[in-house]
Amino acid sequence: MCHLRPIEDIGVSLSQRTQVRIRRDELVVVWAISRFTEKEKKARSLGQHHCEYLIMMSKSKKSTLPDVVEKQRTRVSMQLDAPKHTESVDYHSAFSSMGFDNSFNFEQFKENFSIKIISMTHNEAIFDVIGIDPPIANALRRIIISEIPSMAIEHVFIVNNTSIMQDEVLAHRLGLIPIQINPSDFQYRSAPGHMTDLDTIVFKLQVKCTRNPDVPEDATEAVKYNNYAVYSKDLIWSPAGNQKDSYENIRPVHEDILICKLRPQQEIELEVHCVKGIGRTHAKWQVVETASYRLMPDIIIKKDITGKDAEKLKQTCPMSVFDIEDVGSKKKANVADPRRCTMCRECIRHPEFEDKIELNRVKDHFIFSVEATGMIPAREIFAEAIRILIARIENLEVEQFWLYNWKEKRKERERERQRLYLGRLAINNVTAFLQTGSMQMQEMIVRQNPLNESEMVGVTHGQLLDAFTRTNTPWGEAPEVDF
């Protein structure tokens, strides 16, 4: 039952466009009225309201959309030639003509949102995030790649390098070695060249290659030479300050990363400093090798596929998405693992399957895949990304508040400058009257001030200024500022 009430009963002004909060389970009709002509005012007085547009919304319970429209809203349809319905519909009144409220509802968001962990190791995590929009998912992905802080080699001080590798290439290779340390224990460096034990980690490397005597010529390099290869394990941590008491063993994540190869009498001696940073500054601070997401596949077999067609369908799919089950005496194809589907669409390229299989992707179901470098465990990376996103939203709220206040202050300054301008203009008029004695100027001032024409005879300069001060002209209240 839809109860219509006069909009005045809801407390809405009809003089401007108004957004109405809907109460309980009522269906409220919102009028948006712009300007009334005389004819419209007369019609309104008779109880006939002129409506510019009409919106019908329901807050307490959303009505359902037709199946076709609902599928377009929540699914990406993978056709043979191209995907369809790829865009997200975020406008709150996009389906108002069907009585569906598409506005954001926080309670419904909490009910639909969920995270499911599929697999979790120290360096890799696969999990589902359900119930969010693509902008939020992409923001999390970008934060994981470029906003989570870590420690990496920033400065390389080369004492001696007689290898065939150039100094700049050697420094670049050293910078990409991941360091095993919790970045939250350190601070960002306050100033260039100023380092402390709270913001810097020091490693030293000194390796010299020598030849082993009495070794056959056909022996391998590892046997003929000592220190023929320089690995990341050769970076020795040099504690500074209280670091030795605070940390057990700071080292590279992987000890077998090849840095350089040496031959007899070649030597490398250097010192490196690790500082805190983020991947947006340089890729060496990235805590992940890759972070990606894809939409959850939704595969529907609309018509039964049995017998030889079922066998052909199973062999056609390169990812083994389909399987065969025995139903009585028949073999029937079913969807065994839709997560494995890459949407290659090989299954719908065959004419016999084109009308029997429907390929979709769920728009609000994201499969995240995070591969960590080892500096931070994969299970902590996503949680840290959530914390950074919340902090950025809070900063945005502060910036918006500051910007709003700045605009208001700017408007106030403009109004003040206008008052001062009018005040200066009035003073110039008084000065012109006193200097020229123009009758026209005298008449203008008489009209603007409470003095009568008879009182203008014999008026002194001070009396005239007092008369201007007693008026409501804005310059009388304006503060004195220099232009």
Give bridge partners of residue 273 from the DSSP assignment: 155, 202
**Which DSSP letter does residue 381 get?**
H
CA torsion 244-250-255-261 (nearest 10°) is: -70
How is the chain split into domains, by residue range?
A: 7-62, 150-286, 381-476
Among candidate residues 195, 285, 275, 205, the one with its CA nearest the CA of residue 237 = 205
Could you tell me which residues are beta bridge partners of residue 294? 367
Rounded CA separation 155/259 (Å): 16
- CB pairs under 8 A, 24+ apart, for 157-162? 157/270, 157/271, 157/272, 157/273, 158/269, 158/270, 159/269, 159/270, 159/271, 160/267, 160/268, 160/269, 160/270, 161/267, 161/268, 161/269, 161/270, 162/265, 162/266, 162/267, 162/268
Burial (CB count <10 Å: 0-12, 13-18, 19+), residue 447? exposed
Cβ count within 10 A of residue 344: 15
Q: Tell me the residue type at 208.
A: K
The tens place of each residue's pLDDT in the chain, 483 residues long, gives 333 344 344 343 433 333 433 333 333 333 333 344 444 444 444 444 433 333 334 334 456 889 899 999 999 999 988 999 999 888 888 888 888 888 888 898 999 999 999 999 999 999 999 999 999 999 999 999 999 999 999 999 999 999 999 999 999 999 999 999 989 889 998 877 788 888 899 999 999 999 988 888 788 888 889 999 999 999 999 998 888 888 888 999 999 999 999 999 999 999 999 999 999 999 999 999 999 999 999 999 999 999 899 999 999 999 999 999 988 888 899 999 999 999 999 999 999 998 999 999 999 999 999 999 999 999 999 999 999 999 988 888 777 777 778 777 888 888 888 777 777 777 776 666 666 554 555 555 555 554 444 444 444 555 555 554 544 444 444 444 343
Q: Amino acid letter at 128?
A: D
What pLDDT, on a 0 to 100 scale, did the predictor assign at position 480? 42
pLDDT for residue 425: 74
Q: How far is CA 291 from its chain centroid? A: 15
CATH class of 150-286: mainly beta
Contacting residues for 416 by C-beta, under 8 A, at least 6 apart: 478, 479, 481
